[in-house]
Each structure stands twice: as structure tokens, then as C-alpha cells.
Amino acid sequence: MLEVKSLYVSYGGVQALTNVSVHVKKGEFVSLIGSNGAGKTTLLNSIMNIVSKQKGSALFDGKDVTKKTTSNIVADGMALVPEGRRVFANMSVHENLEMGGFKRPASEVKQKLAEVTEMFPVLGERASQMAGMLSGGEQQMLAIARALMTNPRILLMDEPSMGLAPLVIKEVYEKLKVLASTGLTILLVEQNASVALKYAQRGYVLENGRIIMQGKASELLGDNEVKRAYLGKEYKEKWER
């Protein structure tokens, strides 16, 4: 469904991505893990053409999207939940959701609104509240719901666990699991490797802008190198037990 081929991105001389190839099949839940500054956000943003690539391509249903505008890519059925959630702070929860459905026909917006508020009841309760007033977890739910309003076939998620308490992280990932079970394709990038790999089927490891490992999520979770570099804390916990 999505095939990133030898993507290169640089920010004025600083190489952020080097020869990155990633693919996601229809219905898959894929997690890409990497530490601070590895280039995770850059990867998602260049797929969405929020930042422009140097070379390479990102094929969505076989067509290169890296030359399209972001809003047209969204219209094609690819949605991004951006890093740091980026809800419209000065607009109500309801208006945020409406914006997600900006390009969709009114009847579909109505139906989607019902769907997302059923999935995230708190958004229904807070419908008229300003989005900026929500807690971090609620904002993350809103950002996901807003992306779902675009009626995507693939959802790109940037660091959903950022700044959230462990319990809330679990809650968010459980929702993603439900979404994946309905057939939504998900490509997620995370620093929090343990949770990201736990919920995914396949995974990639990104380091300094290069893919250094890939495989089944369960295998990556069990890999000694991954444990040492990305699951350090928990690994130590296991040793201490």
C-alpha cells in the first residue's frame, strides 16, 4: 500500500535521511523505532510532503505522492497524526473534528462524527470545549479522531506516546489496536520502542537517518541489539529480577 524507496532528505546540508526504504502492506500495523533525532518525524513529513525530499520516492497505491501537496495526499486517503498532536487550540473539539472532514461530503462527516465520538466518548462530552484546554491524552485522542475524519486508508502516527503517562499511553495504543482490527493500515514512529513494537506486526529501526534493522516486531523485541539500545531500562529491570 505504501512503499518508500531510497528516500534522501537533508536540511540545508544536514543529512536527515539516507537511503531509507520502508514498506507497509494493506492492513498491516508497522512501527518504526529510533532515538531522538534519528529522523522519524522527517520520514513521515517527507512522505506527506510537509518537508521536501532530495531524491527517492514514496509510492501510495503505486503512485508517487512526494510531488503532491499535503492536502491532496490527504484527499488520496493518507492521514498524519503529527508529532505533538497539533490540535487547533483556539477552536472547539467539535470544530477540530469538522476540520478533519473538510474535504468530505456532509453526510459522510456526520456519520464519521458519530463513529469517532463513539470510539472516543470524551470528545463527545467535551465537544464545545476549546481543544487547547484538553489534557495531553485527550488532545492525542482528538488528533487521532481528527485524522480519522479524513477517512484515511492509511494512518501515519508520529510519537503518540510523547509526554503521556504510562496508563494513558496504553489507552491510546488500545484504540490503535481497535482501529487496526477494523482493517486500517498503520505506520507508526516512536522512541518508546517497547510499546510500539508490542502492538505492531512488523518493525524497523532507524538510526542516524538510516534503517539499520527490520523484521517481525516480536523478533525485534527479542533482539539483543535492540534490547541494549532501545529497551535499556526494561532490559536492566529483567536482569535485576
Partner 1 sequence: MQFLYSGLTSGSIYGLVALGFNIIYNTTGIINFAQGEFVMIGGMLIYTLFSVMGLPFPIAFFGAVGCAFLVGIVFERVFIRLTRIKNELNLITVTIAASIIIRDVAMHVWGRDSLPVKEFIPVFNIKMPGGVISSQSVLVILVSLAVAFGLNLFLKKSRYGKAMRASFDDPVAAETCGISVSTIRVMSFAVASLLGAVAGVIIAPIMFVTYDDGIMTGLKGFSAAILGGLGNFGAAIAGGLMLGIFESFSASVIPSGLKDAVAFLVILLILFVKPDGLFGKKKVHRV
Give the binding range for ligand ATP (CB under 6 A) out of 8-16, 106-114, 119-127, 131-139. 8-16
User: For residues 11 and 239, which CB has a smaller minimum distance to ligand ATP in the complex?
Assistant: 11
Residues 72-111 that bind Mg ion (CB under 5 A): 83
Q: 3-class DSSP state for residue 218?
A: helix
User: For residues 41 and 151, which CB has a smaller minimum distance to Mg ion in the complex?
Assistant: 41
**H/E element, 122:** helix 121-125
Interaction between residue 36 and ligand ATP (CB under 6 A)? yes
Q: CB-based contacts of 31: which residues, under 8 Å, 6+ apart? A: 188, 189, 190, 196, 197, 199, 200, 202, 203, 204, 217
At closest approach, how far in Å is the CB of 212 from partner 1? Answer: 28
At closest approach, how far in Å is the CB of 136 from partner 1? Answer: 14
Residues 61-120 that bind partner 1 (CB under 8 A): 69-72, 74-75, 79-80, 82, 84, 86-91, 95, 98-100, 102-103
Alpha-carbon distance of 11 to 162, in angstroms, equals 24
At closest approach, how far in Å is the CB of 162 from partner 1? Answer: 12
Q: Which does 36 bind (CB under 5 to 8 A by kind): Mg ion, partner 1, ligand ATP, none?
A: ligand ATP
Which of 31, 41, 96, 161 binds ligand ATP (CB under 6 A)? It is: 41
Interaction between residue 82 and ligand ATP (CB under 6 A)? no
DSSP string, 17-34: EEEEEEEE-TT-EEEEE-
Which of 20, 29, 34, 74 binds ligand ATP (CB under 6 A)? It is: 34
- Neighbouring CB atoms inside 10 A of 27's CB total 16
Backbone angles phi, psi at 155, to 5 degrees: -115, 125
| Residues 97 and 123: beta-carbon distance below 8 Å | yes
Question: Which residue, among 29, 11, 24, 136, has the nearest Cα to 83 in the 3D structure?
Answer: 136
Question: Which residue, among 34, 60, 58, 62, has the nearest Cα to 47 in the 3D structure?
Answer: 58
**Interface ranges with ligand ATP (CB under 6 A):** 11, 14, 16, 34, 36-42, 83, 159, 191
**Interface ranges with partner 1 (CB under 8 A):** 48, 50, 69-72, 74-75, 79-80, 82, 84, 86-91, 95, 98-100, 102-103, 146-147, 149-150
